[in-house]
Amino acid sequence: MSTTRTSTTEWLYTQMLARIQAGDWPVGSSIPSERTLMEEFGVSRVPLRESLSMLRALGVLDIGHGRCAVVRRIDAGVLGHLFPLMLSMEGQQTFQQVFEVRLALEFRTAYLAALRRTEDDMRRIELLLAQFREQVESGSPDAIDTDLEFHVQIAAAAKNPLFPLLLRSLAGFVKYVARESCRGDLVRLRRAVQAHESITEAIRWKDAERARVEMEAHLHYSANRIIRESLANEPSAESVPCRIRAI
Contacts of 25-28 with CB under 8 Å at 24 or more apart are 25/71, 26/71, 27/71, 27/72, 27/73, 28/70, 28/71, 28/72
C-alpha to C-alpha distance for 166 and 163, rounded to whole angstroms: 5
C-alpha to C-alpha distance for 138 and 54, rounded to whole angstroms: 45
Has residue 27 got a pLDDT over 80? yes
In the chain, the domains with their CATH numbers are: 3-71 (1.10.10.10), 77-242 (1.20.120.530)
Q: pLDDT band at 241, cuts 50/70/90?
A: very low
| Among 39, 186, 160, CA closest to 106 | 160
Q: For residue 98, what pLDDT is reported?
A: 74
Q: Which residues contact 96 (CB under 8 A, 6 or more apart)?
A: 223, 227, 239, 240
196 alpha-carbon distance from chain centroid: 20
Has residue 105 got a pLDDT over 50? yes
Return the amino acid letter for 141: P
Return the amino acid letter for 115: L
Model confidence over 44-74: pLDDT tens digits?
A: 999 999 999 999 988 899 998 777 899 998 7
Q: For residue 244, what pLDDT is reported?
A: 35
- Give me the mean pLDDT over the 146-168 stretch: 93
Q: Provide the whole-model pTM.
A: 0.71
Q: For residue 231, what pLDDT is reported?
A: 59
C-alpha to C-alpha distance for 103 and 174, rounded to whole angstroms: 12
